[in-house]
């Protein structure tokens, strides 16, 4: 199969120009003016943006949590991602405490293999670090192509490791060229506040937010950066939400330290006032919770200052009936919200179209930086000769609205119901195949490949 994309505005982190792109098989073969290749398919992209397919490095598909599973599996989740212009996701394998990393890997491979529509990779969440697990970490980096390791500073008894284990993991990962990522919130303080609010009969979704004040994230983010500084390990803070946590990273730069930071669409666009809608606020119960408007201002600034390098979603959807498990107790509401489909379009509409960020910054934080940080560049994350033909053809003028009635995620409500958006993913190409066109998916479950990754880049 060959495709010739004509007259598009090609945007990468390095360039912005009108050109043609010739695709043969799974790869980009040529980029230039007035290319004359004979192709099976010619696409006129006049007036359209042609950009690298998006990479969402933070999703939870078919994930066990609080006695249930997130409602998008690898078929529905990666297909919804493709509809929104995201051609690859990185999911999180969760080690069961007391069990091996390889057993956890086998469980997630069983969910993803043969079912994914889009490409995917895994982070490995280490929840029980010991000498045997240390050996597995080395094997994962050297043999499995999984080079990033998630840690939790919260969820004691299920996911959390202590600071001593964190430092030991960092030392192993550092020596092999991997990356340690973190859910940075102070779990002990949060658990105490949850208990306090429950004992006082304060059980509405608002108290989920009030149990995780900004200081819990700011303190943990600073502690994580200190451990990274001590060990010399590269690190990455997932789903940063607030000014206090960002300031911890800003302070670390004064000692010439580099810490990678991800934020998520919801933290740029939504705020904690949504928790005041009685139980409807459960739609936005996630951890960390939504913050104040001043935090949105700080996060947008952090993107332009280069302190935040990546935009993810933390996509972890639950049906409304699942959310109602916590109808009488906020601590029993499954944490997470649906966002995998809307990341690219919302950021364009609220970032590029409003002048908050440039087009090239958009490509950086939705695709290229994730590819570099997580060891996939230049195979993924750019439009270059020899790169995978993961291409988004985007109409910057088309207006539409978001609704649960029209989205493709397997969830019966939208976190952005009625939101008016400028900009639409029109054609999405994954490894040389037209995946999305005219609002329909043209590839089947099983087309998505597991992508082995190399060492992390220390710079982006």
232 in the Ramachandran plot: left (φ > 0), alpha (ψ -120 to 50) or beta?
Answer: left
What's the pLDDT at 458?
87
Neighbours of 342 (CB within 10 A): 28
The CA–CA distances, whole Å, from 439 to 85, 268, 408, 429 equal 11, 27, 10, 13
Please determine, for residue 337, whether its predicted confidence score (pLDDT) is greater than 90: yes
Mean pLDDT computed over 446-456: 97
Mean pLDDT computed over 70-84: 98
**Sole residue written with tokens 């200190």:** 226
Residue 65 pLDDT level (bands cut at 50, 70, 90) = confident
For the chain, the average pLDDT equals: 97
In this structure, are residues 441 and 76 in contact, taking their beta carbons and an 8 Å threshold?
no
- Of 256, 110, 236, nearest to 178 by C-alpha is 236
What's the pLDDT at 67?
86
In this structure, are residues 271 and 291 in contact, taking their beta carbons and an 8 Å threshold?
yes
Residue 356 structure tokens: 């908050």
Name the E strands within 1-78.
Answer: 2-11, 16-24, 27-32, 41-44, 49-52, 54-59, 64-65, 68-69
Please determine, for residue 206, whether its predicted confidence score (pLDDT) is greater than 90: yes
Please determine, for residue 56, whether its predicted confidence score (pLDDT) is greater than 90: yes
Mean pLDDT computed over 381-394: 98
| 247-292: pLDDT as tens digits | 999 999 999 999 999 999 999 999 999 999 999 999 999 999 999 9
User: SS3 for 361?
Assistant: helix
In this structure, are residues 314 and 238 in contact, taking their beta carbons and an 8 Å threshold?
yes
Domains and CATH numbers, the chain: 2-51+385-396+423-441 (2.30.40.10), 53-373 (3.20.20.140)
In this structure, are residues 414 and 402 in contact, taking their beta carbons and an 8 Å threshold?
yes
What's the pLDDT at 18?
98
Q: How far apart are CA 266 and CA 355, in angstroms?
A: 19
**Sole residue written with tokens 């529905």:** 76
- DSSP3 helix / strand / coil % (the chain, rounded to 5): 35, 25, 40
Q: How far apart are CA 211 and CA 452, in angstroms?
A: 38
| 117-128: pLDDT as tens digits | 999 999 999 999
Mean pLDDT computed over 18-47: 98
Residue 66 pLDDT level (bands cut at 50, 70, 90) = confident
What's the pLDDT at 48?
98
Mean pLDDT computed over 384-392: 98
User: Of how many residues is the chain composed?
Assistant: 460
Residue 175 pLDDT level (bands cut at 50, 70, 90) = very high
């Amino acid at each position: 199969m060959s495709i010739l994309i004509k007259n598009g505005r090609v945007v990468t982190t390095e360039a912005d120009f009108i050109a043609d792109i010739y695709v043969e098989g799974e790869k980009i073969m040529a980029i230039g003016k007035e290319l004359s290749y004979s192709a099976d398919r010619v696409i006129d992209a006049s007036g359209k943006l042609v950009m690298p397919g998006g990479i969402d490095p933070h999703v939870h598909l078919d994930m066990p949590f609080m006695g249930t599973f997130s409602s998008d599996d690898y078929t529905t989740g990666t297909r919804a991602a493709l509809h929104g212009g995201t051609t690859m996701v990185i999911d999180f394998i969760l080690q069961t405490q007391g069990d091996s990393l390889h057993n956890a890997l086998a469980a997630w491979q069983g969910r993803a293999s043969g079912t994914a529509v889009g490409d995917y990779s895994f982070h490995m969440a280490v929840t029980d670090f010991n000498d045997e697990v240390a050996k597995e970490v080395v094997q994962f980096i050297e043999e499995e192509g999984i080079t990033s390791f998630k840690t939790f500073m919260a969820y004691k008894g299920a996911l959390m490791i202590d600071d001593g284990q964190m430092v030991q993991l960092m030392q192993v990962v550092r020596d092999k060229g991997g990356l340690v990522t973190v859910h940075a919130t102070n779990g002990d303080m949060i658990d105490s506040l949850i208990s306090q609010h429950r004992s006082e009969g304060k059980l509405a979704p608002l108290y989920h937010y009030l149990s995780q004040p900004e200081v819990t994230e700011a303190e943990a983010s600073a502690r994580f950066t200190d451990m990274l500084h001590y060990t010399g390990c590269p690190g990455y803070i997932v789903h940063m939400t607030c000014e206090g946590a960002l300031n911890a990273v800003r302070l670390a730069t004064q000692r010439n330290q580099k810490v990678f930071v991800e934020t998520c669409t919801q933290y740029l666009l939504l705020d904690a006032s949504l928790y005041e809608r009685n139980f409807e606020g459960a739609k936005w119960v996630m951890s960390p919770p939504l913050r104040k408007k001043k935090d949105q201002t700080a996060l947008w600034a952090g993107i332009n200052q280069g302190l935040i390098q990546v935009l993810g979603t933390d996509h972890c959807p639950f049906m409304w009936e699942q959310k109602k498990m916590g109808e009488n107790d906020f601590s029993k509401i499954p944490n997470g919200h649906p966002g995998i489909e809307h990341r690219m379009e919302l950021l364009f509409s609220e970032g590029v179209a409003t002048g908050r960020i440039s087009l090239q910054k958009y490509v950086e934080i939705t695709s290229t930086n994730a590819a570099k940080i997580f060891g996939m560049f230049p195979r993924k994350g750019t439009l270059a000769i020899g790169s995978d033909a993961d291409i988004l053809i985007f109409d910057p003028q088309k207006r539409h609205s978001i609704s649960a009635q029209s989205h493709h995620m397997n969830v019966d409500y939208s976190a952005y119901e009625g939101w008016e958006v400028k900009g639409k993913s029109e054609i999405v190409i994954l490894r040389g195949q037209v995946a999305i066109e005219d609002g329909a998916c043209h590839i089947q479950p099983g087309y998505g490949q597991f992508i082995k990754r190399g060492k992390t880049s220390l710079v982006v």
